[in-house]
Amino acid sequence: MRMAAFALCGAALPLILLATPGCTVNPATGGASVVFSSAEGERETGQEMHDKLMSEGAAYDDPELQAYVNKIGQRLVAVSDMPDLKFTFTVMDAPEINAYATPGGFIYVNRGLISYMNSEEQLAGVIGHEIAHVTARHHARRKTAGVTGQVRRQRPIS
C-alpha cells in the first residue's frame, strides 16, 4: 500500500510541477515554453551574476573596445525577437576564444575571441548567437529541464 502511495505521488508530482509554471510563448521560436522562472527573475539572476563578475575585476579595461562591442550588440538587439529587453554587453579580460550569455540579457565576449576574429561580421555573428540564447530563454529551459529531470529520477520504482 505504501509503495502504491509513493508511486502515485511520484507520478502526480511532475504533472503538478508542469501545471504550476507559466506556459509562455517563446519569442524566438513562437512555440510554447514551460519555464519555472519569469523574465524578471531571469534579469535579477543575470544581474547578480554580472555584479559578481564585475566585482572580481573580470571586465577588460578598454572603453573604446567596450563601446565597439556594445554598438554591435545594440544594433543586433534592435532587430532581435526581444528588442525592448535591456541587454548589457561586456568585454571580458580572458584570453580564451569564447563568448557566453547569462539570463536576462547579459552577454560576455572574451578579448581572446575578439583578437581571433577577422571581421566585424564574424564578431556580429557570435554576438547574435549569444543574443539568441537569451531570446530563446535557454537558461530558463535548462533550469526547468533540470528540475523535471530530478523529479523523474526521484520517483520510486515499484
Q: Using one digit for the tens of pLDDT, what is the confidence trace for 18-65?
A: 444 444 555 556 655 544 557 788 889 999 999 999 999 999 999 999
Q: What is the pLDDT of residue 21?
A: 45
For residue range 62-94, what is the model confidence (pLDDT) as tens digits?
999 999 999 999 999 999 999 999 999 999 999
Instruction: From the candidates 40, 48, 56, 130, give the one annotated as an active-site residue.
Output: 130
Alpha helices (H) in 20-137, listed in sequence order: 39-55, 63-78, 111-116, 120-135
Cα 91 from Cα 70, distance rounded (Å): 9
> Would you identify the CATH topology of the domain 2-153?
Zincin-like (3.30.2010)
Joined grid coordinates for residue 23: 506556459
* Paired strand residues for 23: 34
User: Domain locations in the chain?
Assistant: 2-153
pLDDT at 124 over 80: yes
Q: What is the pLDDT of residue 119?
A: 97
How many other β-carbons are positioned within 10 Å of the β-carbon of residue 130?
21
* pTM of the complete model: 0.68
Q: What is the pLDDT of residue 16?
A: 42
Kindly give the interhelix angle for 39-55 and 138-153, rounded to the nearest 10 degrees: 100
Check if 96 is active-site. no
